[in-house]
Structure 1
Amino acid sequence: MERIKCTISYDGTNFSGYQMQQKDRTVQFEIERALRKIHKDDIRTHASGRTDARVHAYGQVFHFDSPLAIPALGWVAALNSALPEDIAVRRVEKVHSHFHARYDVVSKEYRYKVLLNGRDNVFARNYMYRYPYRIDVSTMEAAAKHFLGTHDFTSFCSAKSDKENKVRTIHEIEIQQNGDELLFRFVGNGFLYNMVRIMVGTLLDVGQGRRAPADIPAILEKRDRRYASKTAPGHGLYLWQVNYNN
């Protein structure tokens, strides 16, 4: 048996999330269906983590074990030929049998894309959150600094989260504006359910003047989801990269 590590991209528009569900279409279902075509048998996969409905990925990672002796480039071709067009295998590596796509993660990078133009853009509607309000980026940057470091992010995760430990470390936050497009970039050791989207929603409120940068430490201290802003929509979010030691 060989352990195969895959890095994939997917357009989340027509998926109900990554993780397998009974009735709805998911990324994991399509991957395991493709592997079943190749192996003529069920193959279990393990991903770096879940993404929600309509959330995209540029660099999601999963692994599986296979009895087939196929070279790495052969796996790329075989999987891409069996997968639907909204999933693409970018890279395949053969790894040590102890490697685990979820438990060996060192950090993740998420990006969130916002369109500030008030006019409808039919080409961006599935890939950017349209937010037609004036914002102050420098004020948002001041607020974002309060997220850096290690904190209990209970206030910034969904009440549906099943994680008992809600302490996470954020290494980097970057906010870039290019014309009408706004990009949030987050790098951390891990992220809770809806955490990035709630942080984005709160930062957008700061940018609009509905909150102050100094509100962020108080919201963190409350450890209560009700004190943060609304959750930004899923279609603006991208799991950009998953980092490992090796």
Structure 2
Amino acid sequence: MTLFRPLDDRRPLTGRLALGVEYDGSAYCGWQRLKHAPSVQAELERALSKVASHPVTIHASGRTDSGVHATRQIVHFDAPAQRSQKAWVFGVNANLARDVAVRWVREVPDDFHARFKALARRYRYIILNQPSRPVLERHNVTWCRDPLDADAMHRAAQVLVGEHDFSSFRAAGCQSKTPWRHLHFIEVHRHGPLVVVDVQGNAFLHHMIRNIVGALVSVGRGEQGDGYLAELLALKDRTLSDVTAPACGLHFVDSLYDEAWGLPQEPLGPNLLAFLGEWTGERQLPDCPMVEFRRGKPVAAVKASVSTLNEGGR
């Protein structure tokens, strides 16, 4: 696999297009377009509309909160004009702010949907664990000056794997109809001064990952024991839970789809973690009703579980 794919500048792309997008969320209110503050969606739609010479509306694989970053946000739109692959990528990037970039564009079938066809979403939360404050990484990590026991954090987090009611880890203003989510895995590892919380699931509640990380830091500091996350999960009450970790350490690094859609594979971000060498889609997805349902292969258990499947798409 290579990062250096040639961009065709001759054949016009038509129909529905998918884009891979990267952004630094520091200056934005989040992904979703809002009237009162700048958003990544509005910035990208502005640039696409300029290249297309026509208004463009996009749909994303997931919404990120204010200050949260992304290295593989997948979006789709129906192209109102014919432009080559090179024209879409280079033209849009030339009209975007420097903190947002299109990485690639692909034609996809008309039934592709960035949100509703996503099988899983993956985030990485990065903590810089050292006595002195960060300088070069200050916008992309959360700083913790107290020593953290990453192994204890990992042990405590394993109770969250599987399908659970995550009410203790959802924001008060969360708009999801259900607190149930399915976590495929959650891992905590130390890489030198970096402590990384790597989590994948069908989708996530508002502030869910940041609330989980806030509790895990309490375990890592030794303020709480290995059973702390299990206790919070059982309470099903956000008011009795822990603090919310800062947004700057959170990165949306992958949105997974069935291989049949033909979306490009990329190294998982952010580039701070490029040394880990993992690419999108390398891990096998769990055998669960939601994954089978979105692959278009319904199983008997789907009807029993569909009421708990999230369509919030975080």
Q: TM-score, normalised by structure 2?
A: 0.76
Which residue among 72, 79, 88 is the counterpart of 2:85? 72
Contact conserved, 1:126 with 1:235, CA < 8 A, in 2? yes
For structure 1, list consecutive stretches of 5 or more residues without a partner in the other structure: none
For structure 2, list consecutive stretches of 5 or more residues without a partner in the other structure: 1-13, 262-314
Query: Residue 125 of structure 1: CA displacement?
Result: 1.4
Name the CA distance, whole Å, in 1 between partners of 2:122 and 2:85. 25
Query: Residue 3 of structure 1: CA displacement?
Result: 0.6
Contact conserved, 1:107 with 1:242, CA < 8 A, in 2? yes
Equivalent positions of 1:11-90 (< 5 A) are 11-90=24-103
Contact conserved, 2:216 with 2:229, CA < 8 A, in 1? no
Name the CA distance, whole Å, in 2 between partners of 1:234 and 1:209. 23
Aligned to 1:152: 165
Name the CA distance, whole Å, in 2 between partners of 1:76 and 1:121. 33
Aligned to 2:6: none
Which residue among 164, 167, 171 is the counterpart of 2:184? 171
RMSD: 1.3
AA in 1 matched with 2:179: K
Query: Residue 71 of structure 1: CA displacement?
Result: 3.1
Q: SS state of the match for residue 68, structure 1?
A: coil
Q: SS state of the match for residue 198, structure 2?
A: strand
Query: Residue 115 of structure 1: CA displacement?
Result: 0.8
AA in 1 matched with 2:241: A
Name the CA distance, whole Å, in 2 between partners of 1:152 and 1:170. 11
Q: SS state of the match for residue 232, structure 2?
A: helix
Query: Residue 43 of structure 1: CA displacement?
Result: 1.1
Which residue among 226, 236, 239 is the counterpart of 2:239? 226
AA in 2 matched with 1:14: A
Runs (4+) off by over 6 Å: none
AA in 2 matched with 1:194: H
Contact conserved, 2:154 with 2:189, CA < 8 A, in 1? no
Name the CA distance, whole Å, in 1 between partners of 2:109 and 2:244. 38
Name the CA distance, whole Å, in 1 between partners of 2:134 and 2:219. 25
Query: Residue 159 of structure 1: CA displacement?
Result: 1.0
Aligned to 1:7: 20
> Higher relative CO (CA 8 A, sep ≥ 6), structure 1 or 2?
1
Name the CA distance, whole Å, in 1 between partners of 2:232 and 2:188. 21
Equivalent positions of 1:61-210 (< 5 A) are 61-210=74-223
Q: Percent identity?
A: 35
AA in 2 matched with 1:134: P
Q: SS state of the match for residue 101, structure 1?
A: coil
Name the CA distance, whole Å, in 2 between partners of 1:206 and 1:117. 17
Q: SS state of the match for residue 22, structure 2?
A: strand
Name the CA distance, whole Å, in 1 between partners of 2:53 and 2:154. 52
Q: Deviations over 1:80-116 (max 9, x none)?
A: 1221111111111111111111111100110001011
Query: Residue 209 of structure 1: CA displacement?
Result: 1.5
Name the CA distance, whole Å, in 2 between partners of 1:110 and 1:244. 15
How many aligned positions are there? 246
AA in 2 matched with 1:233: P
Aligned to 1:240: 253
Query: Residue 238 of structure 1: CA displacement?
Result: 0.3
Contact conserved, 1:72 with 1:94, CA < 8 A, in 2? no
Contact conserved, 2:141 with 2:249, CA < 8 A, in 1? yes
Query: Residue 67 of structure 1: CA displacement?
Result: 2.9
Aligned to 1:214: 227
Name the CA distance, whole Å, in 2 between partners of 1:206 and 1:149. 21
Name the CA distance, whole Å, in 2 between partners of 1:154 and 1:17. 22
